[in-house]
Amino acid sequence: MSEHPIEISEQAGVRSLHFGSDWVQGAMRIRRPFSLELAYTREMMACLLLRPDAGWPRRALLIGLGAGSLAKFIHRHLPHTKTTVVEIDPRIAPMAQQHFRLPVDPQRMKIVIADGADYVEGARGHFDLILVDGFGPDARPRCLDSAEFYGAARALLSPTGLFVCNLLGRSRGFAASSRRIDQAFDGRSTVFPSCDSGNAIAFAVAGEPIDVSLEEMRLHAMEVKRNTGLDLRSTVSRLQMAQPLPGGRLLL
């Protein structure tokens, strides 16, 4: 692991995390510390529209902590969820707690200092949700973007498990990354249209099918907004415009 610098900037009420470059690794609006400031993090939580069952997920695995946006959101708004966060850099968790309001709650949020790929390869048990957002200082996921990693992640999913991965839609390797995920999950994956930031979020399943209509997703989005303040209605609209959905349904 390289000892890249960790820097924090503030502008217009938003505090941002950087790994020695202008590339934003995480952000928090200071007046709303538990909201999801970056568009791609909101998009990753669109998993709640695909598995809207009450009490889901019970167990979540996050690969990559950064400023802790996803971990904080889950901790605040999904009180039934126990989360394991795997972060390779031991400096990140104390920084996120000090500067980005990451809760200290070992009963519901366990932080493991480890390489994400190694952890997934050796982990036991199952998770209902796996969120992968593990870019390094050069904005490359390295060993988190391999057929072996995706296969190992699939093996950790519960019957209702959902795999969610942040990809860079404008990178040269984007198409190859999407194919690797699709192959690892036997064609049961989809990539939502790229956010304004250039991030594109892949979703994949291996167990119980996902069969949800656009109308159902809109209704779920309204419920999520009421319960958490997160507005995913634009995500549903972009999905409708960008992808052919036979019969107006997303099937995985």
Does the residue 14 lie in any domain?
no
Question: In this predicted structure, what is the pLDDT of residue 126?
Answer: 97
- Provide the CATH number for the domain around residue 107: 3.40.50.150
Does the residue 161 lie in any domain?
yes
Could you give the C-alpha distances from 205 to 25, 131, 179, in angstroms and in order? Answer: 27, 12, 14
Residues 6+ apart with CB under 8 A from 16: 8, 9, 10, 24, 25, 26, 27, 28, 67
**Angle at 84 (CA atoms; ends 173, 19), nearest 5 degrees:** 50
Does the residue 12 lie in any domain?
no
What band does 115 get if pLDDT is binned at 50, 70 and 90?
very high
Question: In this predicted structure, what is the pLDDT of residue 139?
Answer: 46
- 169 is in which domain, residue-wise? 42-243
Residues 6+ apart with CB under 8 A from 111: 65, 85, 87, 93
Does the residue 223 lie in any domain?
yes
Quote the tokens at residue 209.
């099918």
Over residues 153-207, the pLDDT tens digits come to: 999 999 999 999 999 766 678 899 999 999 999 999 999 987 776 789 999 999 9
Catalytic residue annotation: 133
Question: In this predicted structure, what is the pLDDT of residue 135?
Answer: 64
Does the residue 13 lie in any domain?
no
Does the residue 23 lie in any domain?
no
Does the residue 163 lie in any domain?
yes
Asked if pLDDT for residue 19 goes beyond 90, the answer is no
pTM for this predicted structure: 0.94
Does the residue 190 lie in any domain?
yes
Give the pLDDT mean for 223-230.
96
* Interstrand relation of 82-87 and 109-113 (parallel, antiparallel or unpaired): parallel
With tokens 């973007």, the residue in question is 145
* Number of domains making up the chain: 1
Closest CA to 138 of 18, 10, 15: 18
What band does 141 get if pLDDT is binned at 50, 70 and 90?
low
Cα separation, 110 vs 97, whole angstroms = 13
